[in-house]
Structure 1
Amino acid sequence: MADATTSNDVLTFELVSPERKLMSGTAYRVTIPGVEGDFGVLAGHASVLSTVRMGVVEILESASAAPVRIFITGGFADVTPVNCTLLAEEAVNVNDLDAAKLEQDIRNLSDDLSVAKDAFEKSKLQRRLDVTRAKLKAVAA
C-alpha cells in the first residue's frame, strides 16, 4: 500500500538537549517514555506537558518509515495538536552506542562503586551505572 502521509498527518518535532538540537523537522508519529508509561503522539494530539523518564524515543518520519531511536536520560515533552518538543537532559542516537564499550563501562563503574566510600560519590557512580545499563538495554532491544 502506498504511503498516504499528507501534511495534515504530520507534526513538527524537535528534540533538544543542553548540548545541541538533535532533530528538527516533521514526524508522522513519536513514541515517548513518559513517567506514567510510554505514549504515542500523532498530529491532532491533545495538548499535554509531561515529564519524561529515561528510555528510548522512537520517531517515525512517515507511516512506512523505519523508526529513528534516540536514547534519553529524562526531560520534558511539550505536545500540541501540531507540535511535539522534547527537552532531554541527555540524548544520543541508539545507532551511535557501542555495546562492547558500554559493557566495559559497566564493569569499570561497578568496580569504582565497590570501592567508593563517600555517599555522594556512590550516588553519582550509581546514577552513571544506571544510565549505562539503560543504554546497553536500548542497544540490545
Structure 2
Amino acid sequence: MADTMQFDLVSPERRLASGEVKSVQIPGMDGDMTAMPDHAPTITTLRPGLLTVEGTDGTSQYVVTGGFAEITAKSISILAERAHAREDMTQEKMDEIMEEAQHTYKKVKEAYQNEPGPVDDAAKLLSDMVAMGEEIGLSAKQPNL
C-alpha cells in the first residue's frame, strides 16, 4: 500500500491545491467520508462544508460550497463549485456565499411552488451553508425559510 496519493483541488477560478497527501476528509452529499491511498474508485457530490487535507507537510482546510470528488486508488480530484482556503474566509465572503444560496432558494421556491423535492433540496443547501458558517466561526445570518 502506498503512503500517499495525488490530490488536486480546482474551482472555476483557479487551482487551489495540488500535491501528495495522506488523506482527505470530504463533506459528501450522502455523508462525510475520508479518502486514503488504495481507496475504491468513487465519484461523489459535495455539500457545503470543510474539506480537510492531511498532507506530507501538515494539515490544511478548505471551504467548499459544492461540486464533485473523483477518487481512485492513487488520486483524488475535487472539482468545487466554489472553494477558499479556510484561513482566507472572511465575513464578507461568507455573506456573499449566503446571499447567493438565499437567492437560489427563492428562485427555486418560486419556480416549483407545488413540488417539494427541489424546494427541499434548496432549503437543505441553505441550511448546510449556515452549518458551515457556524463550523468555521463566521455568522451565516440565519435565513427565514
TM score, norm. by length of structure 1: 0.70
Instruction: Give the corresponding residue for 1:3.
Output: none
Q: CA RMSD in A?
A: 3.3
Counterpart of 1:73 (choices 65, 69, 93) is 65
Q: After TM superposition, which residue ranges in structure 1, 4 or more long, deviate above 4 angstroms?
A: 129-132
- 1:96/1:131 Cα in 2 relative to 1: closer, same or farther (>3 Å)? farther
* Percent identity over paired residues: 31
Supply the distance in 2 between the matched residues of 1:74 and 1:68 (Cα, whole angstroms): 18
- 1:8 corresponds to 2:5: no
Instruction: Give the corresponding residue for 1:88.
Output: 80
Q: Secondary structure at the match of 1:9?
A: coil
Q: Unaligned 5+ residue runs, structure 1?
A: 1-6
Supply the distance in 2 between the matched residues of 1:132 and 1:36 (Cα, whole angstroms): 16
Native 8 Å contact 2:49 2:128 kept in 1: no
Q: Secondary structure at the match of 1:44?
A: coil
Instruction: Give the corresponding residue for 2:26.
Output: 32
Offset of residue 120 of structure 1 = 3.1
Counterpart of 1:98 (choices 71, 90, 94) is 90
Q: Secondary structure at the match of 1:81?
A: coil
TM score, norm. by length of structure 2: 0.68
Counterpart of 2:137 (choices 133, 137, 140) is 140
- 1:76/1:102 Cα in 2 relative to 1: closer, same or farther (>3 Å)? closer
Number of aligned residue pairs: give it: 121
Counterpart of 2:47 (choices 42, 53, 66) is 53
Instruction: Give the corresponding residue for 1:23.
Output: 17
Bigger CA radius of gyration: 1
Offset of residue 83 of structure 1 = 0.5
Counterpart of 1:120 (choices 100, 107, 131) is 107
Native 8 Å contact 1:29 1:41 kept in 2: yes
Q: Unaligned 5+ residue runs, structure 2?
A: 111-121, 139-145
Native 8 Å contact 1:94 1:138 kept in 2: no
